Structure 1
Amino acid sequence: MNTNLPILPDIKNFQFLTSLIIRSDNGAIGQHLPPELGELKYLSTLELSGIKNLEDLPNDIEYLVGISSLTLQNIPNLSRIPDESFGKLTQLISLNFSDLPNISTIPTTINNFQQLNKFEITKTNITILNLKGLRSLYFLKITFNSLLETIEITNMNSLSSIDVRNNDELLTFNIQNSYYLQTLNIQSNKKLTSVNIVNVSCYSDAIRTIVDNSQLNTIELKNVSGLNIFEINSLVNLKSIVFDNLQNLFNVTIRFSPELQTISFINTSSMKYLDLSGCNLATFPESILKLESLINLVLTSNQLSTLPSTLITDLPNLKVLNLANNNFQGNIFQPALSNIRELYLSKNSLTSLYGIQEYKSLQRLELDYNNILLIPSEIINLSTKLQNLTINYNKLSYIPYEMTNMRSLSSFSATNNPITNDD
């Protein structure tokens, strides 16, 4: 039955009613629904929407034991949902609370709903949301709750999609002991400071959308299985991030987080790719040296001026190192990074390539926008390996003749240098 007519006192006459939808009552319904609503024992769908005066739900809703879908939407004065009675609706599959500005708490008995698949809570004034043990819940949407400060999600066996957006006062998001997570979207929560994801099994790229949370300063991922890729950008207040026991993680990108102070890798043995571009790093993060499987390391647009002397011994599989736009000065690194195949050093302040012949695996070298005065003739020792060399915008006065014998060199560029002599 879809109605906005004032027939509710006689609703008990519709004993076999399975669906009741009341939208935009135009003031016909008062502050309370009649207790006779509880006599609709065959009701499976109940939607109450646009009811201006309604202040509470009757205790008699406990008799609607067969209801599987409940929607409460745009009821501006609704302030009470009877906790104990609500908790008896254990056959609920779909639950939607939307545009309920006077609802400040969610009944704690919601955690009784073991059949619940889908829960949406939008535009309420709740301050805490604590969901535990909803073993069938697979879709959760928490958006535009202007006073919500804390979200706790625990022991979810089937939860696959979580959408947490535009909760202006949200400070903390915690999820633990949950499985089969496919999508986690944490976006545009202005005051969010902490995200903790612990003991979660997820899809390979489930946690890719943590964006536009301008105050977020702490992220912890611990015992997160299945996650292969983690990527965040422009979290300008991020100070600490911890990856603890993520055995499947192989690709991490954290870009443009200029306040980053601590990044920890603990038991992340599969890491292959790490990008920390634009994080204002003045010192090389020590925890990177634990990533023995790392192949590609990108540290562009930071403030680095030195590398750890144990870089190659600690990272024996490192092949690509991108250090463009940092503060390296003087000679190219010694001891030589003998395992590196690709080295990117543009936009630094290097002046010398002394010892370049010791970079025996080097195939690509980019040195644009430095202050290099000459290419040493010993570079010929790389003739069987080096394929690409760019050294534009430096201070070269000549190109060594020996380079004509570099048979592997397929690309060489030295434009915008004060070259006067080809000898």
Structure 2
Amino acid sequence: MTTGSKDLLRRIAVDTRPLADPVFRRTFLGQGAAVIGTMVTEVAVPVQIYDLSHSSFDVGLAGLAGLVPILVFGLYGGAVADAVDRRRLYLASSALTWTVTLALLAQAVAGLGSVPVILALVAVQSGGFAVSSAVRGAITPALVAPGLVPAANSLGYTASTVGQVLGPLVAGVLIGLPNGFCYAYGADAVLFTAALYATFRLPALPSADPIGRPGLRSVLDGLRFLAGRQVLLLSFLLDIAAMVLAMPTALYPQAAETRWHGGAGLLYSSIAIGSVLAGLSSGWIGRVRRQGAALAAAVAVWAGAVALAGLAPDLWLAVTLLVIAGAADLVSAVYRQTILQTAVPDRMRGRLQGVYTVVVAGGPRLGDVRAGIMASAFPLTVAWSAPALMCVVLVVTAAVLVRPFRRYTTGG
């Protein structure tokens, strides 16, 4: 390999410098293991519910049971994160999530067979997840140097997408075994222990300027702060547009059955595969200065690739386009998180991470609802591609009209 080739490889390969810090390295490895376990449970829960009830409506209730606590505790958990030692809050919320996983394991071992019990556990677990997610984003800038925040986010999102690929595969194997739900929940409990250990080893992480007693007023303060920051607000709105207008996952079963006559598994895995590939070649991301423009470009590529996939007559062409969309999604996620972490003062970071958690968790679910409603009234191609093309137009228009966003640089 020539010197030029080696230099090029170093520039595009994933930037691993944050892993030199032992605290970040433990957190990264623990979270990577936890994501795999979480995805195993996310597959096991709906499969067990359907196995017990044979009702897709009950399976849908699991999504609703998880969404409401995320909306509530994502916002409130972010406010709490600005008032207390973030390590303690992170440890407490992670321990709650782990305890609920043990409860899911216990109900499977006991053969309880109660859908309401499972839904209740999902709701509690989602609340713990919402709080821990808000805190996790808020503490990343405290673990690495400012210049390494984009690289740290790239590593985190890459590990997450790897888990999204591996977790369902592991779940499929375990659920197929006798007493498979016991093995699935047990695997999640074991894997999450790594995250719990990494969290326990974190140093004290108090907020730089504690807000005092958290409550509705502090949550509203965070929302007012967001409304007054044009660049930050637009980054959130672009994500909502991307997920609501250009999230095609709810249409995969129909497309697989009526257009491509199979391939649902490929469709469901394609976006995650694209994100993994982008993460492994993400070394360049931290060197981009105009991160607002880069975020807009990534969202436009995401929506454009999704729109073209909806027009594809061939399954493999659609999958290829969705892989491209997944790669753009990782890039946009890294820039969106980096803008949030660098544009927000530490005293507000927990509350804004809470809003971010709500947006990231709620957007795709709203996108599923939008896609389902449109597919019941319009042809598949219209329901899939037309809103995605609209998203491209909105993103490009916003980037052109809002100059501060287009010219935003890290810390700008």
TM-score greater than 0.5 by the shorter chain: no
Which structure is larger by alpha-carbon Rg, 1 or 2?
A: 1
Q: Could you say which structure has the higher strand fraction?
A: 1
* TM-score normalised by L of structure 1: 0.18
Q: Could you say which structure has the higher helix fraction?
A: 2
* TM-score normalised by L of structure 2: 0.18
**Which structure has more RCO (C-alpha within 8 Å, separation ≥ 6)?**
2
